[in-house]
Amino acid sequence: MYGAIEAGGTKFVLAVGNEKGDILDKQVIPTEHPTITIPKVINFFKNKGIKKLGLGSFGPIDINEESNTYGQLQKTPKNDWVDYPLGETIKIALNVPIKIDTDVNVAAMAEAKWGNAIDVNTCFYMTVGTGIGAGAYVHGQTLKGLSHPEMGHIKVRRHPEDTYVGSCPYHKDCLEGIASGPSLEKRWGKKGNELANDTKVWEIEAYYLAQALTNYIYILSPERIIIGGGVMNQQQLLPLIRKRVIEMLNGYVSSPYLTGKEIDQYIVSPGLTDEAGIKGALYLAINS
Amino acid sequence: MYGAIEAGGTKFVLAVGNEKGDILDKQVIPTEHPTITIPKVINFFKNKGIKKLGLGSFGPIDINEESNTYGQLQKTPKNDWVDYPLGETIKIALNVPIKIDTDVNVAAMAEAKWGNAIDVNTCFYMTVGTGIGAGAYVHGQTLKGLSHPEMGHIKVRRHPEDTYVGSCPYHKDCLEGIASGPSLEKRWGKKGNELANDTKVWEIEAYYLAQALTNYIYILSPERIIIGGGVMNQQQLLPLIRKRVIEMLNGYVSSPYLTGKEIDQYIVSPGLTDEAGIKGALYLAINS
C-alpha cells in the first residue's frame, strides 16, 4: 500500500492506494495552521501499513532531494507555512520514505500516465483556483531545475479595461494576482459562480489565461495542455480561452492543434477530473 | 569526421570537426535565397569525407524525425525560406544522415557539454540579434514537444515610454518585435553600436529582456542562463538585465542566484563565445 498527499492552498487530500493507482481510502481536510493540519495528516496514515509516501505540494517548496531542506516550504504567500518542514515532519512521524514534488508537476505526470495525455510524451497541467500554478511532464520526468516552475507568477499584458491592482503579495499584478479565483472575486465583488452570465468577466479572464498559455506554448511546446481548478468549473471559459489562444498565436506555430478547431483536443480538461493531484502523488510514491 | 551547419537568419556557419568537438575547418556564408546559399553549403562539404551531419537551424522548422517534412522550414519571417526542405535537400545532395534541431536548442546543448553550463544539468540559451530565440537542455535532451520552442515570440509588458509599434510580421510587438537588433535600430533610427552611450536605449532593452528572462525562469527554472547574440555585444546591457531580473522576481524564488550578486554566475555570456551554435550542431552530428 502507498500513501499520497496533495497539499493545496485550501485543502489537503490524503489517500491510500495500490500499485495500479487505485485509490482505496481518501480524506479531505482544510489547510489551516500546520499545528492543526499536520496532526490530522499523521493520524490518517497511522496504522494503514503504507510503505512509501508521495507528496504533491503547493509551493514554493524545496524539491531537491540532495538538499538539507528537502520538502521545506519557502516564501509561500500562505504565511503560516513559510519555512515549514512539511516533508521532514511527515517522514519522521510516519517513519516511511517520502518523495516530494509540486502539486501541479505530479498532476501533469498523472494526466500523462493515467489521464488525458496518455497518448503523448509531454504534458502541461495548469490549475486556476485559489492560486494559479502549472507543471509539466517532459522527457519522462517532471520539470525542475534550479528550483521548480512557478508559472503562475509570470506577467501578462493588462486588459485595457481592467484596472484591478492585483492581489499577489510578491508581484501585485502577476498572472495569479489578476486571474486567480480570489482576484476575480476582489475585482468584481462577487464570486465567480455569481458572475456566470457577465460576459465581460469571462472575456477578461480568458484574455489573461490565453496570454499565459500562449507563452507556455512558445516556451515549452507541450503536446497536450490540461487545464483544471475551481475557476475552470465555469464551462463558458475554456472555449473562450481556446479561441483567444488561436488569435494570439496568429498561425505562427504550424500545427492543426493551434490553428483550427482541433484545439478542442489540445487544450482540454483533466481526464482525472479533480483527482489529478492526488493520483500524481500516488504515482510518485509507487515509482520512488 | 563530422559536418556541422548553423543556419541563421543572416549567415550560415559551416564546419567540419572531429569526435572530440574540435572544429578543423570552418566557413561563413551569408543567408541569401536558398538557390544561392544551398549550393555553397553543398560545395563546402563535398569531398570532406563526413559521415554524419548536424544542423542547428533558425525556425520555425519541423524537427520531428518521424514527420514527412522533417527538416523543412515553416512560417519563418524570412519569406524566401518558407516551406523550404532544408534538411532533405542537403541530405540528398551529400548522401549522409542528418540530424536537425533548432540553432538555439543545439547552442544550449553545446554550452551544457562544452561551455559555461558543464557543471549543471539544465541549461537555457538565448540569443538576441537579428531575431530573438531561446532553447533549453533539460533532462539530458533539448526541449521539444508538439514542435520546438519559439521563445522569442512571447509578449512582455510595454515600457511606459516606448511607443515603437514593433516589427514582427506575425505578432507586431512580441519580444522579438520590440527587442531584436533590427527593432532597436528601427525604434531609434541608429544601429546599437552608435547608441552605446544613450542610457534610455539600454534601460528599455534591459526592461524587455529581463521580463522575458523572468518568465523563462518561472516556467523552466533553468540552472544556468546563457545569453548571447549581437545585441549582447553592448557590454553595459548584461549587468542592467541582471539587476532588473532580481527586481522583477522580488525574492520569490529562494535561491542566492536570484536574489543577490551571485546572479553574475547565473546569467552569463556563452562560454563558447560565438561558436555555441556551430559546436552544438557538431555535437548533434557526433551523437546522432
What would the grid cell of residue A120 be? Answer: 503523448
Q: Are residues A6 and A99 in the same domain?
A: yes
pLDDT tens figures, A122-181: 999 999 998 999 999 999 999 999 999 999 999 999 999 999 999 999 999 999 999 999
Tell me if B221 and A146 make a contact (CB, 8 A cut-off).
yes
In sequence order, what are the residues at sequence separation of 6 or more whose Cβ sits closer than 8 angstroms to the Cβ of residue B237? B202, B205, B206, B209, B231
Q: Which of A219, A249, A263, A266 to mutate to test the interface with B (most CBs of B within 10 A)?
A: A219
Chain B positions in Cβ-Cβ contact with residue A211 (cut-off 8 Å): 155
Q: Which of A122, A123, A213, A220 to mutate to test the interface with B (most CBs of B within 10 A)?
A: A220
Q: CA B152 to CA A82: how far, in whole Å?
A: 35
List the one residue out of B112, B8, B5 whose CA is nearest residue B50: B5
Q: CA B231 to CA B245: how far, in whole Å?
A: 18
Q: Are residues B136 and B13 in the same domain?
A: no
Q: Are residues B11 and B122 in the same domain?
A: no
Q: Are residues B77 and B163 in the same domain?
A: no
Chain A positions in Cβ-Cβ contact with residue B255 (cut-off 8 Å): 146-147
Q: CA B254 to CA A177: how far, in whole Å?
A: 19
Measured in angstroms, the CA of A46 and the nearest CA of chain B are apart by 33
pLDDT tens figures, B5-46: 999 988 999 999 999 999 999 999 999 999 999 999 999 999
For chain B, how many structural domains are there in total?
A: 2
* Residue pair B183/B164 in contact by the 8 Å Cβ criterion: yes
Tell me if B155 and A215 make a contact (CB, 8 A cut-off).
yes
Q: CA B54 to CA B106: how far, in whole Å?
A: 9
pLDDT tens figures, B244-271: 999 999 999 989 999 999 999 999 999 9
Amino acid at A268: V
Tell me if A219 and B254 make a contact (CB, 8 A cut-off).
no
Q: Are residues B74 and B173 in the same domain?
A: no
In sequence order, what are the residues at sequence separation of 6 or more whose Cβ sits closer than 8 angstroms to the Cβ of residue A68? none
Tell me if B221 and A144 make a contact (CB, 8 A cut-off).
yes
pLDDT tens figures, B94-111: 999 999 999 999 999 999
Tell me if B156 and A154 make a contact (CB, 8 A cut-off).
no
The answer to the question of residue B197 being in a domain is yes
Residue of B171, B211, B254 lying closest to A74 (CB–CB): B254
Q: Are residues A52 and A141 in the same domain?
A: no
pLDDT in the model for residue B54: 98
Q: Are residues B38 and B123 in the same domain?
A: no
CATH of the domain at A160: 3.30.420.40
The answer to the question of residue B111 being in a domain is no
Please determine, for residue A229, whether its predicted confidence score (pLDDT) is greater than 90.
yes
Q: CA B20 to CA A10: how far, in whole Å?
A: 54
pLDDT in the model for residue A75: 85
Please determine, for residue B76, whether its predicted confidence score (pLDDT) is greater than 90.
no
Chain B positions in Cβ-Cβ contact with residue A121 (cut-off 8 Å): 145
Measured in angstroms, the CA of A25 and the nearest CA of chain B are apart by 34
List the one residue out of A5, A47, A55 whose CA is nearest residue A27: A5
Chain A positions in Cβ-Cβ contact with residue B134 (cut-off 8 Å): 219
Q: Are residues A189 and A225 in the same domain?
A: yes
Q: CA A100 to CA A158: how far, in whole Å?
A: 35
pLDDT tens figures, B44-65: 999 999 999 999 999 899 999 9
Residue of B75, B215, B258 lying closest to A154 (CB–CB): B215
Tell me if B253 and A150 make a contact (CB, 8 A cut-off).
yes
Amino acid at A132: I
Q: Are residues B259 and B278 in the same domain?
A: no
Tell me if B218 and A140 make a contact (CB, 8 A cut-off).
no
Please determine, for residue B84, whether its predicted confidence score (pLDDT) is greater than 90.
yes
Task: Name the average pLDDT for chain A.
Answer: 96
Chain B positions in Cβ-Cβ contact with residue A157 (cut-off 8 Å): 155, 157-158
pLDDT in the model for residue A78: 85
Residue identified by cell 458572475 is A195
Q: Are residues A19 and A121 in the same domain?
A: no
Please determine, for residue B198, whether its predicted confidence score (pLDDT) is greater than 90.
yes
Average pLDDT on A47-54 reads 96
Please determine, for residue A287, whether its predicted confidence score (pLDDT) is greater than 90.
yes
Which H or E run includes A246?
helix A237-249
Measured in angstroms, the CA of B191 and the nearest CA of chain A are apart by 28
The answer to the question of residue B110 being in a domain is no
Task: Compute the CA torsion angle A156, A161, A165, A171 (nearest 10 deg).
Answer: 0
Residue of A74, A157, A218 lying closest to B151 (CB–CB): A218
Average pLDDT on A6-19 reads 95
Q: CA A192 to CA A186: how far, in whole Å?
A: 10
Q: Are residues A222 and A85 in the same domain?
A: no
The answer to the question of residue B282 being in a domain is yes
Task: Name the average pLDDT for chain B.
Answer: 96
pLDDT in the model for residue A254: 87
Average pLDDT on A183-206 reads 96
Q: Give this prediction's pTM.
A: 0.96
| Nearest residue on chain A to B77, alpha-carbon basis | A252
Q: Which of B121, B178, B253 to mutate to test the interface with A (most CBs of A within 10 A)?
A: B253
Higher pLDDT, B241 or B79: B241
Please determine, for residue A9, whether its predicted confidence score (pLDDT) is greater than 90.
no
Please determine, for residue B78, whether its predicted confidence score (pLDDT) is greater than 90.
no
Tell me if A145 and B215 make a contact (CB, 8 A cut-off).
no
pLDDT in the model for residue A76: 83
- Structural domain harbouring B52: 2-105+274-286
Tell me if A143 and B221 make a contact (CB, 8 A cut-off).
yes
pLDDT in the model for residue B49: 94
pLDDT in the model for residue B210: 98
Q: Are residues A81 and A16 in the same domain?
A: yes
The answer to the question of residue A45 being in a domain is yes
The answer to the question of residue B112 being in a domain is no
The answer to the question of residue A178 being in a domain is yes
pLDDT tens figures, A55-108: 999 989 999 999 999 999 998 878 899 999 999 999 999 999 999 999 999 999
| Number of A–B residue contacts, CB under 8 Å | 147
**For chain A, percent of residues with pLDDT exceeding 70:** 100
pLDDT tens figures, B164-190: 999 999 999 999 999 999 999 999 999
Burial A260-274 (b: 16+ CB within 10 A, else e): eeebeebbbebbbee
